[in-house]
Amino acid sequence: MYKKILLATDGSPSARKAEDHAIEIAKKFGSRLEALYVIDPEFSARIRSHRVTVPVKTNNTTVPFHEYIEQALMKKGEEILGDVKEKAEKEGIRVDTKIRKGNPAEEIIREAEDTFCEVIVMGSKGLKGLSRAFIGSVADKVSRRAPCPVLVIRE
């Protein structure tokens, strides 16, 4: 059971609990574990047409703002996935990591389809974490449309 687990993480408190849970399951079932972070280009896309730039201190030039944001999100994703890798290695578990770009829910579902995952593990809330909502929109969409069971971990 659970030969392949897909862990979706945005580094939020409930995603971090989901990380621990996914590592535990992988340990128990000897599963392969993949951790995924999705860069959501929605914010940067909105600003792209305005052609605003950000100064780059090191070489006195500028960089388009949307590129700057995407680079920052890429760095964030690498940090989050690096932390998961470290945590898993301490438990003797190997993790494959991946960063995709696009709508988070759609990319999580696509990754699960492409890699034949048998379960998706994710948090109930993410970085926005509105207290009045029971579940975030990414968790909601993935749990309704994923090709496999989805384990949603509450904060």
Ligand X SMILES: Nc1ncnc2c1ncn2[C@@H]1O[C@H](COP(=O)(O)OP(=O)(O)OP(=O)(O)O)[C@@H](O)[C@H]1O
Chain contacts with ligand X (rule: CB under 6 A): 8-10, 12, 14-15, 18, 36-38, 40, 104, 122-123, 125-130, 136-139
C-alpha to C-alpha distances, 129 to 12, 55, 117, 135, nearest whole angstrom: 9, 32, 26, 8
C-alpha to C-alpha distances, 106 to 8, 41, 94, 132, 142, nearest whole angstrom: 12, 13, 25, 24, 8
Which of 2/126 has CB closer to Mg ion? 126
Smallest distance from Mg ion to CB 67, Å: 22
72 binds, among Mg ion, ligand X, none (CB under 5 to 8 A by kind): none
Smallest distance from ligand X to CB 57, Å: 28
Range list of β-strands (E), 80-141: 95-101, 119-123
The CA distance from 95 to 84, in Å, is 8
Asked whether 64 and 51 are in contact (CB, 8 A), the reply is: yes
Which of 50/155 has CB closer to ligand X? 155
Smallest distance from ligand X to CB 130, Å: 6
Q: Looking at 97, 126, 146, 150, which residue binds Mg ion (CB under 5 A)?
A: 126
The footprint of Mg ion (CB under 5 A) covers 126, 128
